Structure 1
Amino acid sequence: MGAASSSLALESEGGSGSSPSRPSLDDVPESCVSSIFMYMDPPEICKLARLNKAFHGASLADFVWETKLPSNYKFLVEKVLGQSPESLSKKEIYARLCRPNCFDNGTKQVWLDKSSGKICVAVSYKALRITGIDDRRYWNHVSSEESRFNTIAYLQQIWWFEVGGELEFEFPAGTYSLFFKLQLGKTSKKLGRRTCNVDRVHGWDIKPVRFQLSTSTGQQASSECYLHQQGNWGHYHAGDFVVDSTNTAPLKLRFSMMQIDCTHTKGGVCFDSVLVCPSEFREKLKQF
């Protein structure tokens, strides 16, 4: 009698001798997962989205990805992607902006850093004013796999070296740095190996190159240095500027580099582009 009673009790609790099922990740509400994702980096969100349907669904929530997008994402979608921000999900906007996106007839590129969502902009030499650029006695246009624009300018020899340009762009609040991407020597490939001819490099050790930067908000910066990166690309720092959170209008940058001492010629340098990126990215410039 007693044994029968205990058997009935077990059956009424969910089966003969079976223990209650334990909670699993599948039991976590999608809304809770989305709330947690708001405090995580995009690469971490994408990894966790593979766990199950709830995590995948949570990873698609617009309010999650809106916290990762820069404050000017609507400007970027309209200017760079050429679409309405309302026509795309926030995750799709983030994914598409993380790729290099060309604008202004392919002479400029903008992209987001995948981990932080911060903006980087590159300006091809083709969008700049360069003394003698159309004269083949001085400059050559060279195809290059090492340029994000697939073409670089190679200076053979010149007396008056001067480059100037402008960029009008809506930057999110933050501190940014502007660099000129240059290399002493001309790169080529022989038997599949990268080589760099530095025979024509001259004149850069006599006088320094002067770099200048100014903004439409009145900020100014300048620097001088000798070009020294033989055989490898170097990023030469022109200056920094700050974008205030109250400034919502596009910012206009003016920048230049020059070595105009006509007592000697200078040559053998490759010029790729100008880079604008958050100042905190200076340690990983080789990625650009």
Structure 2
Amino acid sequence: MTATATPSLVLVPVPPNLVKLLERPDSPLISANGQLYIQSDNPVFTDFNGGKMKLEIDGSTEVKYIMFSAKALSITGSDDSRYWQWISRDDSNFPEVAKLTGVCLFEVKGRFDCTYLHPARFCKVYFILKLQGAYGWNQNPVWFKIETARQQEWSFLFLSDMNRLSYHPWKASFNVLPNNWIEVYAGQISVNETNNSSQNDMKFTMKLYEYGSWKGGLILDSVKIQPVY
């Protein structure tokens, strides 16, 4: 019988601006030689904020991305199983994803203090979703909005035909990921160099401005924030 190798744990340095974000029981910090670390065998931390967030730190102690699960977002009607269902999938980034059965009012919201990602110059925002048995998305586009106290960024996408209006300057770009997940690039916001939380409090929204018809067949996995240094 061949013995299974046990992964060796390493101390991953924590960027100073992330200390407050990571200072919680489910992501313990270790202090050594005046530096704070997280003990891990992988720079990707999945059991974070009750399993609702995931982040990756590269070798230079900069954050590569932070992901918010659907559970960490504000989804209109998600507390009513007639409209949304919480399901598990083997191909998702988190233990549970939000499956839209059918709604008239579609809105997903979240927020994040980009100061945690200082000295990043920009924060890019992506919505990760999948269409399965989709209906009701053909009349109007879904709008994506990113905003801080200083700026706003808008984009849109027709989920029923994502190549529609391909050359419109406000059209959101997207990538098809493995297992037919879709990563929609909603835009980017600049990070205030003063490291001021009130200026870097970012809100992001995915919304359909059409209330008269039902739509469904969408599965929401997460929102990813990727800093640009």
Q: Normalised by the shorter chain, which TM-score bucket?
A: 0.7 to 0.9
SS at match of 2:50: coil
Q: Is the 8 A contact 1:177 1:240 kept in 2?
A: yes
The TM-score normalised by the length of structure 2 is 0.72
Q: Is the 8 A contact 2:100 2:218 kept in 1?
A: yes
The TM-score normalised by the length of structure 1 is 0.59
Unpaired segments ≥5 residues, structure 2: 1-9, 163-175
CA distance in 1, matches of 2:182, 2:204: 17
1:179 aligns with: 126
1:238 aligns with: 186
1:85 aligns with: 31
State the 4+ residue runs in structure 1 displaced beyond 6 angstroms: 87-90
Q: Is the 8 A contact 1:108 1:123 kept in 2?
A: yes
Q: Which amino acid aligns with 1:203?
A: G
Matching residue within 223, 226, 229 for 1:277 = 226
Residue 206 of structure 1: how far off its partner (Å): 1.8
Deviations 1:149-182 (A, max 9, x none): 1111111222111111222351122222011111
Deviations 1:97-141 (A, max 9, x none): 712243333222222145884331111111222122122222111
Matching residue within 84, 89, 94 for 1:149 = 94
Of Structure 1 and Structure 2, which has the larger fraction of its residues in helix? 1
Q: Which amino acid aligns with 2:144?
A: F
Residue 87 of structure 1: how far off its partner (Å): 6.8
Residue 240 of structure 1: how far off its partner (Å): 0.6
Of Structure 1 and Structure 2, which has the larger fraction of its residues in strand? 2
1:286 aligns with: none
Q: Which amino acid aligns with 1:161?
A: F
SS at match of 1:268: strand
1:47 aligns with: none
Distance 1:249 1:257, change over 3 A: closer
Which of the pair has the greater relative contact order for Cα pairs under 8 Å at 6+ separation? 2
CA distance in 1, matches of 2:58, 2:90: 21
Identical columns (%): 29
What is the CA RMSD across the aligned residues, in angstroms? 3.3
The reply on whether 1:223 has 2:169 as its aligned counterpart is no
Greater C-alpha radius of gyration = 1
